[in-house]
Amino acid sequence: MRIDIVTLFPRMVEGPIAESILGRARERGLIDIRVVNLREYAEGRHRVADDYQFGGGGGMVLKPEPLFAAVEALRTPRARVVLLDPRGRRFTQEIARELGAVAHLILLAGRYEGVDERVSTALADDEVSIGDYVLTGGELPALVVTDAVARLIPGVLGDAAAAGQDSFARGLLEGPQYTRPEEFHGMRVPDVLLSGDHQMIARWRRAQALWRTWQRRPDLLETAELTPAEQKLVEEFRRGKGPDESWMRSA
């Protein structure tokens, strides 16, 4: 998979993609992430990429020509052009999966003052927002999308099962996790996790994930695909029972 990030501020994105899991995935050739300096596609001696907006009003707007030229140079037959913009569709794990199925993503980082509308009309196939707040530009959103998509590529995460377990993978939040020591500041790791009984552990985890989702994001339970046993647990939560009373009884 290839991801191109087109930006006026390459250094804003170069650090994060060179580090940690993304950096390793690139080194291992699992993903090809390129940072493209928009200024290189701007014309003139000063390579100006933004301009005042027609009609007045403060703030510079990204000009269409450099963005169109950059995409023309980068495009491959299977490329999808995604503009990062607070007006886009809100990014979710589902959209991460959808974009992860695309062989080549071209991510256009806008600036917060705006991008010429013709980019949205005639260049971008898709517009994505990472949430209902406004950032100074699309660089951090492009990194968020890149990270969320890259970790779904087989082999990028060390443990093959890891991405299937996390929050949202099944439409639920993840339950609590513990590592050593068994006791820390008077807080003990739940006995069941030390029991070695894998079936019990799986049941406990499922109940905890459901409980956490019920507590923090009940809206997710409306769309999550629950097994009959899980539905029964949620029914118990509705009747006021906590996960500690319920999970042992769940089949």
DSSP 45: T
List residues near ligand ADE by CB under 6 A: 84-86, 110, 112, 129-131, 133-135, 137-138, 141
Shortest Cβ 141–ligand ADE spacing (Å): 4
Considering beta carbons, is residue 126 or 174 the nearer one to ligand ADE?
126
* Rounded-to-integer distance, Cα 145 and Cα 147, Å: 5
Shortest Cβ 109–ligand ADE spacing (Å): 8
DSSP string covering 110-152, please?
A: -BTT-B-HHHHHHT-SEEEESSSS--SBSHHHHHHHHHHHHTT
Count CB atoms within 10 A of the CB of residue 225. Answer: 8
Give the alpha-carbon dihedral of 136, 137, 138, 144, to 10 degrees.
Answer: -30
Structure tokens at 190: 């739940």
DSSP3 helix / strand / coil % (the chain, rounded to 5): 45, 20, 40
Considering beta carbons, is residue 64 or 141 the nearer one to ligand ADE?
141
Helix 10-18 to helix 20-27 angle (10° resolution) is 80
Shortest Cβ 85–ligand ADE spacing (Å): 5
Shortest Cβ 135–ligand ADE spacing (Å): 4
* Rounded-to-integer distance, Cα 41 and Cα 68, Å: 9
Shortest Cβ 86–ligand ADE spacing (Å): 4
Q: Which residues are catalytic?
A: 86, 113, 151, 166
